[in-house]
Structure formats: structure tokens, C-alpha cells
């Protein structure tokens, strides 16, 4: 009797877990038109979910068309702009209820290089949450005004000191989660939005004892579209780190 051993090798050479790439969008039509085909061609085995907040520029219309032609692309359309954090929470819930093993989160504006996705998935084999880091092994940020770089750098230093979490880039948005991390965090209790959303997710995963690993990435400022960063987002983060620290001291972290 003959036995055949069949080895499944994916087209990109990655033998990966069932993966969903989640991308929140607000007025990203110029970027998403290039980014989606880029990811689809480079990683034919991953699924992509766009969470759009009714962008006036028609981002959702483009994604909807694509999703009707391609089973790998999904669109979650929300009524109005509700912030990055709740967009990710909606994406994570979709990921959990559809049986994915890994979730990659990234921005739509090419600040996060889609070619790095492969490295995130490789790294996830040794840990539970991979955090793309601009601030390990030097500083790798391209085209940001010095003002914004300093704000980000010192926000990270502040976060590290207040929370005690040993992460150099806790505010970055290019990350990869194992299913069990998202399953164990109470997503309904996540209310923060901008930078503090990233910090809150890292902190809760860390406090639950999951293995976090930082991986060097190069962040390039967007060329198309505009940033949705605001003073409100910075203020929210300043307070949130204290809330997290105090809640964890008093055992109130949900
Ligand atoms: N769905 C949704 N996406 C958002 C919202 N705010 C920002 N985004 C998206 O989140 C990503 C990061 O936002 P961006 O403005 O580039 O922030 P910055 O990189 O910190 O300047 C981009 O893909 C945005 O389109 C929002 O309120 N809702
Ligand atoms: Mg950006």
C-alpha cells in the first residue's frame, strides 16, 4: 500500500494560521484603493476586514464592490465616525465569531508597510501579541515633524513609567494578536479610542500574563489623506494610563 504525504504550502510560502487583517478607515479612498489589492496579491491566504465609519469620500463603496467580487474581503460599515478603538473592537468581535486564529491590525494609510505582515505572523509563533515598534534598536520614523516625533516618544516614556509595562512603543497601531488574547479580554469594557486604545489592549494582555514581543518596524508618515489625531486623543491617553495603573493596583481591571 502506498502512502502519500501531502504538504500544504501556501503561495506566499507562509504556512500560517487562519488570519484576519483588520483595517479601520475614515476617508481613506486613495490609500485603500492601493492597499487592498497590495495585501490581496501578497497574501492570498489571509482575509481582510475593513471597518469603515461611513466615510464621506466613498471608501466603503469601493470596499463593498471588492467584497462582492472577492470572498477574502469583508466590510463592516458603521453609521458614523465613532473612533478607532470601537472600530477595532468591532473588528475583533468579527474575528472571534468567525473562527480566525490570528488578527493583524494596521492603518490604511501606508504608515504600516503591508510587506511586514509576514514577519508579524512568523513572530506570533513565539508569543501571543506582537507589537510593531518604532523605538527598539533606534528610532525609525520617516517624515514626521519633530514635534510629533517628540510627542510620541515622550508619550511612550510616560506610559512606561506610569504603567510599569516594559514596552518601548505602546502607542503604535501595527500589531498581531493570537485569538486567545482577544478572547480573554472583555472587549465590551474597552472604551478608549486613540493612542490609549493601543495602550489599554497591551496593558490588559500583559496583566493577564500573555507573552508580548516587540518587533522593529519603520513607520512612514502618510502621503495621502489626513491624520485624525487630535489634542483630545492625547488628553485621553494622559489620563488613561493612570486609570489602568490604579485599576490594576486595586484589582479592578476588567
Ligand atoms: N473606522 C474608523 N477609522 C478611523 C477613525 N479614526 C481614524 N481611523 C483610521 O485609523 C487609522 C489611523 O488613523 P490616522 O488618522 O492615520 O492616525 P495617525 O496615524 O495617528 O495620524 C487610519 O486607517 C484611519 O483611517 C475612526 O473614527 N473610525
Ligand atoms: Mg496614520
Q: What is the pLDDT of residues 213-250, one digit of tens each?
A: 999 999 999 999 998 878 888 899 899 999 999 999 99
What mean pLDDT do residues 151-179 have? 96
Beta strands 47-52 and 19-25: pairing type?
Answer: parallel
Q: Whose CA is nearest to atom 20 of ligand 1?
A: 229
Average pLDDT of the residues in 9-17:
56
Ligand 1 within 6 A of 50 CB?
no
Is pLDDT at 7 greater than 80 in this prediction? no
Counting residues of the chain whose pLDDT is more than 70, the rounded percentage is 94
Produce one character per residue of 164-181: b if its CB has 16 or more CB atoms within 10 Å, e if not. ebebbbbbbbbbbbbbeb
Mean pLDDT on 122-144: 96
**Ligand 1 pocket: which of 94, 228, 232, 237 to mutate (most atoms within 8 A of CB):** 228
Q: Is the CB of 176 under 6 A from ligand 1?
A: no
* 52 pocket-lining for ligand 1 (C-beta < 6 Å): yes
3-state secondary structure labels for all residues of 40-59: HHHCCCCEEEEEECCCCCCH
92 Cα to the center of ligand 1, angstroms: 16
Distance CA 135, CA 22 (A): 23
Q: What is the pLDDT of residues 77-87, one digit of tens each?
A: 999 999 999 99
Does the pLDDT of residue 133 top 50, yes or no? yes
The reply to whether ligand 1 has any atom less than 6 angstroms from the CB of 227 is: yes
Q: Average pLDDT, whole number, for the chain? A: 93
* Distance in angstroms (rounded) separating the CA atoms of residues 36 and 108: 9
Q: What stretch of H or E contains 235?
A: helix 231-249
For residue 74, give the H/E element and its range: strand 73-77
Which residue puts its alpha carbon closest to atom 19 of ligand 1?
Answer: 227
8 Å CB contact between 43 and 13: no
* pLDDT bracket for residue 14 (50, 70, 90): low
Pick the residue whose CA is nearest to atom 27 on ligand 1. 83
Amino acid at each position: 500500500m502506498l502512502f502519500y504525504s501531502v504538504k500544504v504550502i501556501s503561495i506566499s510560502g507562509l504556512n500560517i494560521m487562519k488570519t484576519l487583517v483588520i483595517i479601520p478607515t475614515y476617508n481613506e479612498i486613495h490609500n485603500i484603493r492601493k492597499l487592498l489589492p497590495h495585501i490581496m496579491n501578497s497574501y492570498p491566504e489571509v482575509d481582510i476586514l475593513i471597518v469603515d465609519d461611513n466615510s464621506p469620500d466613498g471608501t466603503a463603496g469601493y470596499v463593498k464592490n471588492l467584497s462582492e467580487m472577492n470572498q477574502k474581503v469583508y466590510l463592516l460599515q458603521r453609521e458614523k465616525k465613532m473612533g478607532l478603538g470601537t472600530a477595532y473592537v468591532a473588528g475583533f468581535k468579527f474575528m472571534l465569531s468567525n473562527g480566525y486564529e490570528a488578527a493583524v491590525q494596521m492603518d490604511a494609510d501606508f504608515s504600516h508597510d503591508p510587506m511586514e505582515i509576514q514577519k508579524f505572523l512568523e513572530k506570533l509563533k513565539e508569543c501571543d501579541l506582537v507589537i510593531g515598534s518604532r523605538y527598539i534598536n533606534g528610532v525609525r520614523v520617516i517624515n514626521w515633524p519633530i514635534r510629533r516625533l517628540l510627542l510620541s516618544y515622550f508619550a511612550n516614556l510616560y506610559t512606561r513609567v506610569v504603567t510599569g509595562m516594559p514596552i518601548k512603543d505602546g502607542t503604535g497601531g501595527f500589531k498581531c494578536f493570537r485569538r486567545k488574547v482577544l478572547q480573554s479580554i472583555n472587549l465590551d469594557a474597552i472604551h478608549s479610542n486613540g493612542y490609549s486604545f493601543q495602550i489599554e489592549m497591551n496593558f490588559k494582555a500583559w496583566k493577564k500574563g500573555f507573552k508580548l514581543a516587540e518587533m522593529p518596524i519603520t513607520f512612514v508618515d502618510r502621503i495621502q489623506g489626513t491624520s485624525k489625531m487630535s489634542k483630545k486623543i492625547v488628553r485621553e491617553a494622559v489620563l488613561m494610563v493612570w486609570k489602568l495603573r490604579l485599576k490594576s493596583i486595586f484589582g479592578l481591571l476588567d
